């Protein structure tokens, strides 16, 4: 069956400015494939030349985007062909190639800009059990904990269900058990009352283990969702829209009415 051209075109979903670049003039698929293969070999070395990897990742960006956008491979297949893409430094670099925005700087700047105002709004919603429980965990002197409460509390505030996406498990739990059914998410591992590990999960596999904390995990998850062209989970549509369009200020000119209203509340001064 004939499909109209405008339906076959792959379009940016998240306000990417460099979504699907053309191959440079004079460069063929075989040229990129040769460099990609060399990069895979470099990644297998005991002492990796990370500067060279960075240059090769930049050079092969058009091929990588073509494969990811047009072929829509599984995450495991991307990881096999492009192992460097799952290193923290390259997640940040790929995000910058796609958006011309610094991943962590944009995320944490927005997070801290709205931090106190979000917590004020959360405090006013005393009837939401999940929010109330999180607010009890606050320590006035700990910025990281405030950031975590803001991010974990957002789905509750927006009346979305995050139970299948943001999980807390025990250190004795088996990986296959707690990742089962998780297409996109972050898992925090507890030992007693302490969080000892935080991991990003995609397609039921731990993709980024042992991250610093929950806010850093969310920032890298955002980077991976852009890099791998993965849709935001429908159950957390508004939560991820806030992450992108409010906190990171990417595509903020086109918000849903719910997120637009929230942003107005955040910008409203309190007395």
Tokens of 154: 């957002």
pLDDT at residue number 59 = 97
Distance CA 190, CA 157 (A): 24
Q: Is the pLDDT of residue 142 over 80?
A: yes
Q: In angstroms, what CA-CA distances link 53 with 34, 38, 85, 95, 267?
A: 14, 10, 10, 16, 42
Q: What is the pLDDT of residues 24-61, one digit of tens each?
A: 999 999 999 999 999 999 999 999 999 999 999 999 99
Distance CA 1, CA 77 (A): 29
Confidence band (pLDDT; 50, 70, 90) for 2? very low
Distance CA 271, CA 269 (A): 7
Positive or negative torsion for Cα 134, 200, 118, 264: negative
Q: What is the pLDDT of residues 187-243, one digit of tens each?
A: 999 988 888 999 999 999 999 999 999 999 999 999 999 999 999 999 999 999 999
Confidence band (pLDDT; 50, 70, 90) for 152? very high
Distance CA 92, CA 227 (A): 9
Q: For helices 143-157 and 103-113, what crossing angle results, to 10°?
A: 80
Confidence band (pLDDT; 50, 70, 90) for 5? very low
Confidence band (pLDDT; 50, 70, 90) for 71? very high
Average confidence score pLDDT of the chain: 92
pLDDT at residue number 130 = 86
pLDDT at residue number 171 = 86
pTM, to two decimals: 0.93
């Amino acid at each position: 069956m004939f499909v109209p051209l405008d339906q076959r075109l792959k379009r940016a979903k998240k306000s990417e400015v460099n979504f699907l670049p053309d191959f440079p003039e004079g460069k063929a698929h075989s040229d990129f494939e040769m460099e990609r293969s060399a990069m895979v070999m470099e990644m297998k070395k005991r002492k990796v030349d990370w500067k060279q990897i960075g240059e090769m990742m930049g050079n092969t960006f058009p091929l990588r985007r073509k494969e990811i956008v047009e072929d829509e491979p599984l995450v495991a297949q991307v990881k096999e062909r492009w192992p460097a893409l799952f290193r923290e430094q390259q997640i940040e670099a790929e995000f910058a190639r796609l958006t011309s925005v610094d991943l962590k700087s944009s995320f944490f700047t927005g997070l801290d800009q709205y931090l106190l105002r979000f917590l004020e709004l959360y405090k006013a919603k005393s009837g939401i059990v999940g929010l109330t429980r999180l607010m009890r965990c606050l320590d006035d002197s700990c910025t990281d904990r405030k950031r975590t409460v803001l991010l974990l509390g957002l789905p509750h505030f927006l009346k979305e269900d995050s139970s299948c996406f943001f999980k807390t498990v025990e250190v004795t739990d088996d990986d296959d058990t707690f990742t089962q059914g998780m297409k996109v998410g972050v898992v925090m591992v507890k030992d007693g009352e302490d969080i000892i590990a935080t991991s990003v999960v995609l397609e039921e596999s731990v993709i980024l283990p042992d991250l610093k904390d929950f806010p850093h995990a969310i920032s890298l998850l955002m980077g991976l969702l852009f890099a791998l062209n993965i849709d935001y989970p429908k159950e957390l549509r508004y939560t991820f829209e806030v992450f992108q369009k409010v906190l990171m200020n990417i595509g903020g000119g086109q918000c849903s009415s719910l997120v637009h209203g929230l942003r107005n509340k955040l910008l409203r001064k309190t007395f």
